[in-house]
Amino acid sequence: MEMVKKTYILIASVFLITVASAQQPFVKQKGHQFLIDEKPYYYIGTNYWYGGLLALQKDPARGKQRLIRELDFLKSKGINNLRVLVGSEGEGKINGVDRVKPALQTQHNVFDAGLLKGLDFLLMEMGKRKMYAILYLSNNWEWSGGFMQYLNWNGQIDNDTLKRKLTWDEQRDYTSKFYSCDACKTDYRRQVCFILQRKNAYTGKKYINEPAIMAWELANEPRPMRAEAIGAYKAWITNTAAYIKSIDKNHLITIGTEGFMGTEENLDLFKEIHADVSIDYLTLHIWPKNWGWFQGAPTKENLQAVIQKTSDYINAHEVVAGQLNKPLVIEEFGLPRDGHAFDPSSTTALRDEYFGNIFSIWAKSRAKGGAVTGCNFWSFAGLSRPINGQLFWKEGDDFSGDPPQEEQGLNSVFDSDFSTWKIIGKYLKK
């Protein structure tokens, strides 16, 4: 009997060791590279901001089944990195537009724990496919509530002002107050703590022990917004990153910046905030249309100038990454379809050429073991399709790559965009 017991224990031990060794490893950072099992990790990924909401759909075909099909599609194309929104704050109109629904924080300090079951399911399915998620914890912009909602909850923006369309100067003035609003920052941290303490309902793993998570991102595109907010902005980054590190020893942390376009066009400030010991890698976003690099629609005539500006922008930040000896991820970039069309049947020749240039920079970095380690194009719309005659998202519509405040189909990459997937495949096969 004793021999049988010892044999059973031995078999069980071997089984546990085998299972443990087969588990998905965490992504690590060493110098200017990411590592998985001590091997360099270079990737082309996508933005899938709505991925944590799909499994919540009551109709399985529009929810879990769609999610599984889309993950299988991405994996078949070589995409293994997804940038995802954790949850939105507040409900109702904000800055004149609808925001993402349903909300994680429905009211001030009221969290819908059940909402995270959608993210639980996504992470479980990504883990099965050895895919990695970058999870951003809030938003500088209104489309998911974000900083403006925290300011409203703490009396810095009244309800009428929150709902109406603000001028750009008004938006900058209000949002910049977040970094000096102690109550707002406490509320933000309370939500972060709520997320970090989460245990996955499907796997039983705490989020802080979940290998399918690659990194926590402080917010989507956090900007100081005004020069006078820079000091408080820097302090918030330092304190928040250190706080997350104190709870979670397994995952990487990044800020979520656009590059110097998001730091008051101050490359020194961009470098300073990423030099922080708790920040593991640098990010940049590139938006030629929003930044006025072309007027109207992209054309053959203006595309080369846009490509040159993009290359220069990446190169400037790659130099900083080299100086800091940390990886650099180009984690958002997009371009409208040809003729500024929204219909998925329209062509994407200019976008394909634009994407190809960015992928070529990434590929050259990969070949030499450089600092440009990842690309996440904006944005994967998967099986969704815009509704004919309707420009903007309405509650009940399928989620797509374009958030509610943007025209549906504007920057989305659909599963049917074969020429774009061919470009992506070209660089991943290399």
pLDDT at 14 over 80: no
Rounded to whole angstroms, how far apart are CA atoms 2 and 328?
57
Rounded to whole angstroms, how far apart are CA atoms 50 and 402?
10
pLDDT at 3 over 50: no
Question: Is-contact 332 378, C-beta < 8 A?
Answer: yes
Confidence bin at 367 (pLDDT 50/70/90) = very high
Question: Which of 206, 203, 209, 199 is closest to 25 using CA atoms?
Answer: 209
Question: Can you give the pLDDT at residue 429?
Answer: 86
> What is the residue range of 156's domain?
2-429
Query: Could you say which DSSP state residue 429 is in?
Result: H
Chain-centroid distance, C-alpha 101: 17
- Tell me how many domains the chain contains: 1
The backbone torsions φ and ψ at residue 361, rounded to the nearest 5 degrees and listed phi first, read -65, -45
**What does the DSSP assignment read for 46-99?**
EE-TTHHHHTT-SSTTTTHHHHHHHHHHHHHTT--EEEEE---B--S-BTTB--
Please state the pTM of the whole predicted model.
0.94
Question: Is-contact 68 125, C-beta < 8 A?
Answer: yes
Q: Tens digits of per-residue pLDDT, 305-318? A: 999 999 999 999 99
pLDDT at 23 over 90: no
| Domain harbouring 156, CATH code | 3.20.20.80
